[in-house]
Structure 1
């Protein structure tokens, strides 16, 4: 099967990691997989190129010119499947793929849209969905959000949970824990709302001797978060590690995985934590809340409630039996529902079965 993925770029991010892993999996199964980027390759794209993948950079341009470029590329490659990821690539590539008579066209929505609501873009996305055979949400919450949109092709919405490669336990001389350790891995952006996590850590430290919080990642909010951590007197508790590629060492050493986002689809980092049996404390939003309730593998707290987050940290740190139970559930449910192979099989089924 000839598969072309359409993405904005292949910079490091959850959706981009999924595309890269899916491409590798399907190529290993004998499929011809290629990727088209609107903006630039990014670090993941460069890595895929060294692995021998064919990648194409269209270049940023007027929307109509971009659609024309996609049509030309698709007509030349003649793929069996064009798989668009998120809003812009779907608007840009779905209709050209349909006009080029591609057998199966689908889009995956990896997350949510925040206020201020870009209504025009959402309307364009929903309209483009009518050129698709399938409109995939990575969790039920995302599917529900798509269905609520004006012009949505409701009969084409499907749910495919994200999958992730399992992490192998890794020991590192550099990554050494000294006490009960929380771990966040992800982009440091306002949507992650890490100030709530910091406020929870500040409250919990009085009740959890040796508490540590590792924040792995980078982004526009980092300077503000470092300042807030200093204001809360967390200089000896919170460590900002920056962007790291060796995240398995951090997951292997951590006691609990934490996220305090105001909205989420289904983050890869959560699934990676589950693969190692690391329980979680999460805000009750989107796919995070959905998966936590489905798997019973963590604790949920309300969005923006630092006090509730602090109480959850204390409970997790002081109840070893609970932590052990959640850990077992996390690993078992990962194997049952969230492997890369399971996700890949679901997508192959959609590729083979048009509406």
Structure 2
């Protein structure tokens, strides 16, 4: 190979190539798709297209790297009769070290390709294959290909209109400081000049406030592409600037910091191509966004503070009176002019209760001379204070809010609209009661929190005064621990990091149908899932299953079954070995590598479902109810919802779902409380070509049931019904097929003792349910709770008359007197009578056998179930 110095000042050559050309990105990581995306944007800015390099020059660029100045790219001059390789150097790493050692004289052994322009496809293919370059090749450094400093972390720009004392500005700055602790590289970008006292800017802040308003967004786009930004996170930008940023091709997420009255200019005009994801600071704001911008995905990320910066302190002495604090900058929506009348009413209320103390008001906020409405607000407050004769102090930002709260007895807020007030959080953290209007996200702070007292926005001063005096004379419990639970900067940043990763992966459209379930061991729900997954797979759809409660090294029979049919199963360490959030993050990482077309929860742990559905704003999520246990499990989880997760009632979960599926019609009405669209899809089973029941009565009459040994299966009631019926039955036996559920060993022992003197045969769990049915005359089932039980469907498909208790969807399977007997729930004697009835009427059993199979054929086939779910999960595939 010929060696050469840098071509930073090349000699003129007779031939040049035009800007750009074909390019190829090396080493894309499916678990970090933002690396390839950032390189693609850089190449496109330089004029390249990502097409196969078959003829002419081309560029190799390793995923995650970007050209330092893509818009100034100019191809190197061609060499007469010789191939040329031009190298772009990174600021650090193997190539930079290599260049420092060798200068312009590159030896034959080159580091792995990073950024290389090839005049010949032959040299490019040689580098891709790891082969030596032809000896005639000239390898040079071409400075316009030099790379910016990047790493593999997701890079998120926090973009705020100005850096001044205010809630949204603090949030943007805090995120820029906190996100690196969550594996995200950040940079704070300030677009304009402050109107109030500026906040301290973190190192590396990009200040564009010297630019004209009309040009700053465009210049920021060029900078972001050149520096390899993966996500742009905007705060307070108006619709026009947001659109300019989105046209960069970099995903844009926007935090909305206020109720609708306080949204940035023209925010209601945004569409799906203008912003990837909206992050609401409260659930109240999320509701407004969903109503105004229904085509945009939305998630709530509660505002957070650092509670240690606002420590809980004892209430100050009342020897010199009471101090009420309000933390707000003078603006019309804060309605500070109402405070003097409220303070005066508080003084009168105290006197009416025999307390003759002064009441002082401290307003911690800054009046901006450049904002006319702020000056008007300030004058109104001062006039009202003079009118009511109250002691009013303005801090104008000279006293830290922490100190203001430490000297106050309560915080009062009259704001007409709010997002989620940092001032309220700071007061709660300081151990001070908050008396505020029920606006915006304030109700979310009051959840199970007596330290926050809500009043209607139109409440008169006297009503405010009563609540304030109640809090002053009977101090409320501190909410400091509640702030640590839900409203910290760390929790806020963790959620933003997770959503930013999802936004960075948005360009990759998925085709895989992902099922998430607890396990694939015994049980009807597991059997239905396996049937459905194999049926989808047989129709040519890609299916994967993620398990929450299996050990990777110990596959169940159900998992082995799916693997043998070519269906991949992802098995993270089981719940209990790792925490719910860690488990969900592992599943999300796997879904990043294999993007879902839809995600389906099928009998999955409620806590994991909440976390996973929340973390997938761009993916349709469906939840399949197995019946009563879904609701009872959900209610238990909602008693203590996950910290920091805005999901406290069923409808909060429901709006994360594309659909909620129930398996029998009667459950649909109850399911409406979830708030998601409800679909009714009963289970389906394979219909054997021929009946499997005994065709002729031989020997003992056999009652059979297939149920795992568990208290919820109520086998004790079945045994008791058998005991009652036995004196009137012919020679018979009750066969029970089912394995013992983990933790139900005592139940199994108790059942065996209960059946000790009865003709009961215990069979283990069977994989050949058809063979079991072939040895039975009548199938019996008492189960509570029950959704759409598979055991009875399989028995009906085999041609067995079924006696079932009227629970869940049993009434849609067993038509009393037609294909079996349906008896009232928990009525053991009625169940016994039904057993006697069918035992003595073989003709009736034969007629019911025919009706049973016909009922399955018409309503409960696997093909019908598969098509119903296919229309729901993959509507474009129909």
Does 2:725 match 1:204?
yes
**Structure 2 vs 1, CA of residues 249 and 258 (structure 1 numbering), >3 Å: closer, same or farther?**
same
Q: Deviations over 1:273-327 (max 9, x none)?
A: 1111111111110011332249942212223322211111010111233222322
More helix by share: 1
Residue in structure 2 matched with residue 264 of structure 1 by the alignment: 786
Which of these residues, 604, 618, 624, is aligned with residue 108 of structure 1? 624
Deviations 1:144-173 (A, max 9, x none): 34334xxx115x11100101123466989x
1:20–1:48 CA contact under 8 A, matched in 2: yes
For 1:119, the equivalent position in structure 2 comes to 635
Cα distance in structure 2, aligned partners of 1:346 and 1:118: 25
Matches within 5 A, 1:272-291: 272-291=794-813
- Give 5+ residue unaligned stretches, structure 2: 1-510, 639-647
Correspondence 1:80 to 2:597: yes
Is 1:136 matched with 2:652? no
1:163-202 aligned at under 5 Å gives the runs 163-167=684-688, 178-202=699-723
The 10-residue stretch of structure 1 (238-247 or 119-128) with the greater mean CA deviation from structure 2:
119-128
How far the C-alpha of 1:124 sits from its partner, in A, is: 6.8
Q: Which of 57, 69, 72 is the aligned partner of 2:586?
A: 69
DSSP 3-state at the match of 1:9: coil
Equivalent residue pairs, number: 340
Q: 205-214 or 26-35: which moved more?
A: 205-214
Change (3 A) 1:253 1:128: same
**1:323 matches 2:839:** no
Task: Identify which of 141, 144, 159 aligns with 2:680.
Answer: 159
1:39 maps to what in 2? Answer: 549
TM-score, normalised relative to structure 1: 0.88
2:27 is aligned with 1:27: no
Output the CA distance in 2 between the equivalents of 1:125 and 1:7: 20
For 1:115 and 1:334, the matched residues in 2 are separated by 27
**Cα-to-partner distance string for 1:243-295 (whole Å, 9 max, x where unaligned):** 12122111122111111112211111111111111111111100113322499
- Contact kept? 1:9, 1:38, Cα under 8 Å: yes
Is 1:255 matched with 2:781? no
Aligned partners of 2:518 and 2:604 also within 8 Å: no
Q: Match of 2:520? A: 10
Residues 141, 290 of structure 1: 8 Å contact kept: no
Distance in 1 between the 2:686 and 2:559 partners? 18
Provide the alpha-carbon RMSD of the alignment.
2.6
Q: Following TM superposition, by how much is the alpha carbon of 1:353 offset from its aligned partner in structure 2, in angstroms?
A: 4.1
CA positional deviation for 1:93 = 2.8
**C-alpha deviation, 1:114, in angstroms:** 8.6
Distance 1:28 1:118, change over 3 A: closer
Structure 2 counterpart of 1:93, from 612, 637, 649? 612
Higher-Rg member (1/2): 2
SS class of match (2:549)? strand
Asked if 1:298 corresponds to 2:820, the answer is yes
Q: SS at the partner of 1:239?
A: strand
Query: Do the aligned residues in 2 keep the contact of 1:91 with 1:124 (CA within 8 Å)?
Result: no
Distance 2:769 2:593 in 1: 39
Deviation at 1:214, TM superposition (A): 0.5
| TM-score w.r.t. length of structure 2 | 0.37
**C-alpha separation between the residues in 2 aligned to 1:301 and 1:84?**
32
Higher RCO (CA 8 Å, separation ≥ 6 residues): 1
Instruction: Please tell me whether the aligned partners of residues 6 and 93 of structure 1 are also in contact (alpha carbons under 8 angstroms).
Output: no
2:411 aligned partner:
none
Q: Matches of 2:651 and 2:709 in 1, distance apart?
A: 29
Q: Label 1:124 to 1:226 Cα distance change in 2 as closer, same or farther (>3 A).
A: farther
